[in-house]
Amino acid sequence: MTIQLLNDRYQVIRTLGAGGFGETYLAEDTYMPSKRRCVVKQLRPIHNNPQIYQLVQERFQREAAILEELGGVNDQIPALYAYFSSGGQFYLVQEWIEGDTLTGKVQTQGLFSEGAVQELFMNLLPVLDYVHSKHIVHRDIKPDNIIVRYRDGKPVLIDFGAIRESMGTVVNSQGNPTSSIVIGTPGYMPSEQAAGRPVYSSDLYSLGMTVIYLLTGKQAQQLETDSQTGEIVWRQYASHVSPIMAGVIDRAIAYHPRDRFPTARAMLDTLQNIANPIPPTQPLLTQPTIVSAPPPQTAPVKPQSNPQGSSQNNILFGSLIAGGLIGASVIISQVLTKSSQPTADKTVLPLETPSTGTSPVIETPKFIPTTPFPTQSTSSLNADATTAVSTYFWLSQRLVTDADLDGKDGFELDIMRNSIFANHGRRFDTSEIQDYFNKQPWYRPIYSAKHFHLNYCQN
């Protein structure tokens, strides 16, 4: 092969690929002391019509600028080094990613485990979220276009279709420039993309189909579709995948865009909730602020001891202990001004709520659980506490009294505070509380502590 020097600078080493849009070369940059290797893409417009050549050149420059921005910020997108035109053809010079494609990984190492697939999702979805934030749809996500980089094991997204669309510009029958090229790979692109109308969730579909290949070893074209729904039939080839993960993948590859995750961020949040990566945290001792608007919010705390006494002040201070020191200043102020405040507006035993970026408040919750909480004995809960956990809906209806608190240890008081939220699917930062509710047959953890909001459980 004759060694070529493109643009008097890039020395071609070998051809990496060829297609209808041009050729791709591995080259060395002779202007750099390191002779760094790079990828040079030679792109040919479909028609060399002088009427549209200027338009193609302008679009090419604009798309190259977009790729420069993407790769310049995110290191899982190849950096754009240069672009130029020569002899009626256009060239892109990009970073050379040393690694194996996902296709190569399956061929050499076998099928991926569920854990490996989840890690891939966690690493690629933030990249897609960033790409979509720039109003770009990749349109050609598939196993061959994701390279696992040698130096750090990160997946890198390559071969954006935007430039190729520029090369596909033609003139329609009315003499107006248009693009008649559908970017994508059959089997990995959804129906709306095949019709020329891709949306952001089209990339999620392609990523889901890519993951199915990693789990089953079957290319998209080898899988059947349900004749009634149009959904891909794949689960029988991946018996090692949990129903929860399979459900996430099914939603990503739903036939209609409205049934998929709306954004890459939404899909990432769902996977993070499944993985439950939020570690136990220390109680936050912050100064609450009394506000008048619902819903109630307090920072998470753990009670320290049992309250004693029967006076009204002891009721309030007993609840302070049950709720932790976080509500000290607010509860004291309620003691001093009790005669002027209606009791129905105050809850003395606050519930643990997630951090939402606003100041905590202590108020009466505006919801009542619709089902009672069954009693279940656990190794971490004593017998007296077990019999008292049946239902705590009254916490949203009246003040707590000494009788309500007598004989309860700090753990049961914590359960009292959090049972209502648990009934509505919230996870908890405190590992002991989370472990207790995990053992309850009625508990369905849906929302993470950081994303749960009281609006989810208001009637």
Find which of 140-154, 329-343, 364-378, 435-449 is predicted with most confidence, using mean pLDDT: 140-154
Q: Are residues 111 and 252 in the same domain?
A: yes
pLDDT at 322 over 70: no
Confidence bin at 396 (pLDDT 50/70/90): low
Q: Are residues 226 and 342 in the same domain?
A: no
In this predicted structure, what is the pLDDT of residue 169? 55
- Average per-residue pLDDT in the chain? 74
Domain housing 214? 99-159+184-275
Q: How many CB atoms lie within 10 A of CB 269?
A: 17
- In terms of domains, do 17 and 63 share one? yes
**134-148, 203-217, 428-442 — most confident range:** 203-217
Is residue 129 flagged as an active site residue?
no
Split at pLDDT 50, 70, 90, the class of 391 is low
Does a structural domain hold residue 117? yes
Is the pLDDT at 365 greater than 60? The verdict is no
Half-sphere exposure of 234 (CA within 13 A, CB side): 30
Q: Residues 366, 415: one domain?
A: yes
pLDDT of 96 over the 90 cut: yes
* CA dist., res. 141 & res. 184, Å (int): 8
Residue 218 annotated as binding site = no
**Whether the bond into 295 is cis, omega within 30 of 0:** yes
Answer yes or no: is 435 within a domain: yes
Residue 330 counted as domain residue: yes
In a domain, 421, yes or no: yes
Coil, helix or strand at residue 93: strand
Please state the domain count of the chain: 3
pLDDT above 70: percentage of residues in the chain? 64
pTM over 0.95: no
Q: What are phi and psi of 222, to 5 degrees?
A: -85, -5
128-132, 177-181, 255-259, 405-409: least confidently modelled range: 177-181
**CATH number, domain containing residue 217:** 1.10.510.10
- Would 336 be classed as within a structural domain? yes
Domain end residue (candidates: 275, 302, 321): 275
Each residue of 51-82: pLDDT tens digit? 667 777 777 788 788 888 888 889 999 999 99
Question: So what's the pLDDT on residue 32?
Answer: 95
| 145 and 60 assigned to the same domain | no
Residue 18, SS3 per DSSP: strand
Say which of 29, 75, 100, 140 is annotated catalytic: 140
pLDDT one-digit tens code per residue, 165-224: 555 555 555 556 555 556 778 899 999 998 888 999 999 999 999 999 999 999 988 999
Max mean pLDDT range (44-48, 364-368, 408-412):
408-412
Q: Which two tokens stand for residue 320?
A: 């302070």
281 in a domain, yes or no?
no
CB neighbourhood size of 224 (10 A): 10
Q: Predicted confidence band at 318 (pLDDT cuts at 50, 70, 90)?
A: very low
- CB count within 10 Å of CB 173 equals 6
Indicate if 365 and 442 belong to the same structural domain. Answer: yes
**Average pLDDT in the 339-368 region?**
39
Name the nearest CA neighbour of 350 among 284, 292, 418. Answer: 418
Residues 89 and 24 in one domain: yes
* pLDDT top residue among 133 and 52: 133
Sequential DSSP letters for 63-74? HHHHHHHHHHH-
Burial class, 1, CB count within 10 angstroms (exposed 0-12 / middle 13-18 / buried 19+): exposed
Mean pLDDT calculated for residue range 411-415: 80
Q: Do residues 371 and 388 both lie within one domain?
A: yes
In a domain, 176, yes or no: no
Domain shared by 141 and 213, yes or no: yes
Which has more confidence, 140 or 328? 140
Measured between alpha carbons, how far is 29 from 14 in angstroms, rounded to an integer?
14
Statement to judge: residues 47 and 103 lie in one domain: no
Q: State the Cα–Cα distance between residues 107 and 101, nearest whole angstrom.
A: 10
Q: Is residue 368 scored above 60 in pLDDT?
A: no
- Looking up residue 62, the CATH number of its domain turns out to be 3.30.200.20
Let me know: does 155 contact 76? Beta carbons within 8 Å: yes
Tokens at residue 34, please? 């390191």
Going by their DSSP bridges, the two strands 10-19 and 22-29 should be labelled as antiparallel
Please tell me the predicted confidence (pLDDT) of residue 452.
Answer: 67
Which residue, of 260, 275, 290, is where some domain finishes? 275
Last residue of a domain, one of 275, 300, 326: 275
280 assigned to some structural domain: no
Residue 449 is given by DSSP the state: T
Same domain? 120 vs 269? yes
Contact 216, 276 (CB under 8 A): no
Residue identified by tokens 């248009």 is 178
pLDDT score of 284: 38
Q: Tokens in use for 55?
A: 């338009």
Residues 62 and 103 reside in one and the same domain: no
| pLDDT level of residue 117 (50, 70, 90 thresholds) | very high
